[in-house]
Structure 1
């Protein structure tokens, strides 16, 4: 009987506690206000209305090509009583000093609610991605906005119909599918979101010249350099991007002046070989250029070999004292008498075995150039 009474008492206490907790929760909920509107109603930058995606809480704004994306002051509309951070009209950078886009978070608060929006501001970007006449593909130089295409001798260039691919949503003139006279260069114009992009198209009759062969550029052609008698650093941050080589990364090595440790040996170098070997035919290519940056002037050596470390040649170029600390493009001439294919390339900050200064050498943009 006593056990039954104890059980009932425990049940009664639990019921009282549950009622008390429920009452507290109800009181807390009643004290919160969830009626506030936390939406961004409009987001305008330099007169351009942004696209608001409420489902993803994102806003996208596309400004005319060439617009500065720093120091922008968006005009923002929100509900009465709401607050937004950063504020409407506040100056904001939507890109860094290098032009990299920055996502900015805006937070709207109203009553006891808040909502975050991720805002991206960019410029209009449209381009011709492919230009063909028949089965012949043109070479598109996006940086200079030029298009060059070689057609067989005797082709009638007065009425050609190119096949052009370009950014979705853009319009193009001359219109795709229309016959064009390419006796002289023709300007193709893309219109996209109020911005204009012009390409000059040139048709040349004859055989296309052999293109420059990119062996390494650190971006889309980026075989790994191995170390010989030193530590080679692939993916080094480019120390000077405001000169003739603005790419973000390069290769580097340190050579010391002790002559006894690995970095002091005369064959200190970075090498492309084995799994990363190249294929340069000296019957087609007459020189190799390398972008070099050093902190001391002097001779730079390029050793070329056939696979298996056979048929070696040692090529030299001078890194000028007038440009120490700057990128220079050095040209290494392949001997005319060489017939063996070049598979291995060794880049060396070559100096006498003793008496030289400790130095760091950076290199980039290794290219083989056709014989002219």
Structure 2
């Protein structure tokens, strides 16, 4: 009897094991882990993007002046694959150079993610030197200003110019150029042309504003004051006086937004500004309600405080406005901490205030003249 039980138990074990293995095989057979999830082509208008399936990146260079806020790429995929966002659906690529748009290809039981950049064709002059003097390049208005020593013959100068690889420049590198009046430099690149106006001035270069924060290459982290600060916000208004792609922002609550709500540069991001050398600040602000913007300046350890205010006007609602803040003339203490409060007033004063995101950018200190 015991022998019969043992035989039956062994049979059950073998039967269950077989069923389990059969289920495993069925599940394995249903998984498709070899499906193709590569983007075959990514096109914007008539421009083919460069697809790198190894790194999962796609870059498309479109003609200058293309509206990047509503681009609808046409995407070719392998059989049975799908992509999100879908082919032909418009996306905002205005900020994709710094924050690529994410696409994901699905096929079978696998997927692949792509980071997509769509940007305008652009060639830039990146350095401009004459002798040991370096030109100041403004990429916003494509201007170059260079200060040269007394006695320099402006009619016979040969600048050293650095510019985008692959571009052609005129006047050509190494040629002598007459700078007794402004000179136009033209870059030709991928069928587009880009011009810079270069001006030579005899004399000493004036002291330039100190850029404390610009959101891109000078971007210390703002600490939270009363609410979370988003240190890399996309600029909501790039077609005005502040065209840079990134800024900083925070949400002010209409109900509980009393007191300090803003951001601070202090601790590991503190500054070192001497009021004997600098006498004012400027900052760009964008919001949807008029009112005072406040800068609080402090020495290290939150000492020697001064409160500076400037009015964000009704005429600029939804636009960037550059605000100027005068440092008190009698201040001698070094400025180490800068606190920004985009809306200084209590809620409902002086105007009704709704919960909204407010932005600031381009904080500078200006030298005394």
TM range (shorter): 0.5 to 0.7
Structure 2 equivalent of residue 274 of structure 1: 267
- For the residues of structure 2 that align with 1:295 and 1:57, how far apart are their CA atoms? 39
The alignment status of 1:351 with 2:345, answered yes or no, reads yes
1:251 aligns with 249
| Deviation readout 1:189-215 (Å, 9 max, x if unpaired) | 222233222211111111112212221
Task: Report the CA distance between 1:167 and its aligned residue.
Answer: 2.1
Does the 8 Å CA contact 1:94/1:103 hold for their aligned counterparts?
no
* 8 Å CA contact retained: 2:222, 2:231: no
Give yes or no for contact 1:241–1:248 (8 Å, CA) kept in 2.
Answer: no
- Greater CA drift, 241-250 or 354-363: 354-363
> For the structure 1 residues 72 and 302, does the alpha-carbon distance in structure 2 shift closer, same or farther, using more than 3 Å as the test?
closer
Which residue number in structure 1 is paired with residue 135 of structure 2?
A: 138
Counterpart in 1 of 2:167?
Answer: 170
**Partner residue, 2:277:** 284
Are the equivalent residues in 1 in contact too, given 2:230–2:248 (CA < 8 A)? yes
Residue aligning to 2:94 = 98
**Counterpart check, 1:335 vs 2:328:** yes
CA drift of 1:344 comes to 1.1
Distance between the aligned counterparts of 2:104 and 2:329, measured in 1?
61
Question: Does the C-alpha gap of structure 1 residues 60 and 200 become closer, same or farther in structure 2, counting only changes over 3 Å?
Answer: same
SS in 2 for 1:264: coil
**Contact 2:250/2:262 (<8 A) preserved:** no
Relative to the length of structure 1, the TM-score reads 0.65
Give the equivalent residue in structure 2 for 1:179. Answer: 176
Write out aligned runs for 1:3-42 (5 A).
none
Helix, strand or coil: the match of 1:187? strand
Q: Deviations over 1:142-172 (max 9, x none)?
A: 2222111111122121111111122222222
**Are 2:307 and 1:314 equivalent residues in the alignment?**
yes
Q: Which stretches in structure 1 are left out of the alignment for 5+ residues?
A: 1-39, 77-82, 107-117
Q: Is the 8 A contact 1:290 1:365 kept in 2?
A: yes
SS in 1 for 2:141: coil
Please give the secondary structure, in 1, of the residue aligned with 2:221.
coil
2:367 maps to what in 1?
370
Query: CA offset at residue 93 of structure 1?
Result: 7.8
1:212-252 superposed Cα distances (whole Å, 9 cap, x missing partner): 22212222222222234x12313364574255445344132
Corresponding pairs, count: 306
For the 8 Å contact 2:283–2:362, the answer to whether it is kept is yes
Mark the CA change 1:368 to 1:123 in structure 2 (over 3 Å): closer, same or farther. closer
Given that residues 236 and 252 in structure 1 are in contact (C-alpha distance below 8 angstroms), is that contact kept between their aligned partners in structure 2? no
Question: Measured at CA, do residues 127 and 233 of structure 1 come closer, stay the same or move farther in structure 2, by a change above 3 Å?
Answer: same
Contact 1:227 1:270 (C-alpha < 8 Å) held by counterparts: yes
The Cα shift of 1:180 comes to: 1.3
Structure 2 counterparts to residues 1-150 of structure 1, below 5 A: 64-66=63-65, 70=71, 96=92, 98=94, 100=96, 124-150=121-147
Q: Which residue of structure 1 aligns with residue 295 of structure 2?
A: 302
Deviation at 1:255, TM superposition (A): 5.8
Larger radius of gyration: 1
- Deviation of residue 345 (structure 1)? 1.1
1:159–1:286 CA distance, 2 compared to 1 (3 A): same
Alignment correspondent of 1:231: 227
Instruction: Kindly indicate whether the alpha-carbon contact (under 8 Å) linking 2:283 and 2:364 is maintained by their aligned counterparts in 1.
Output: yes
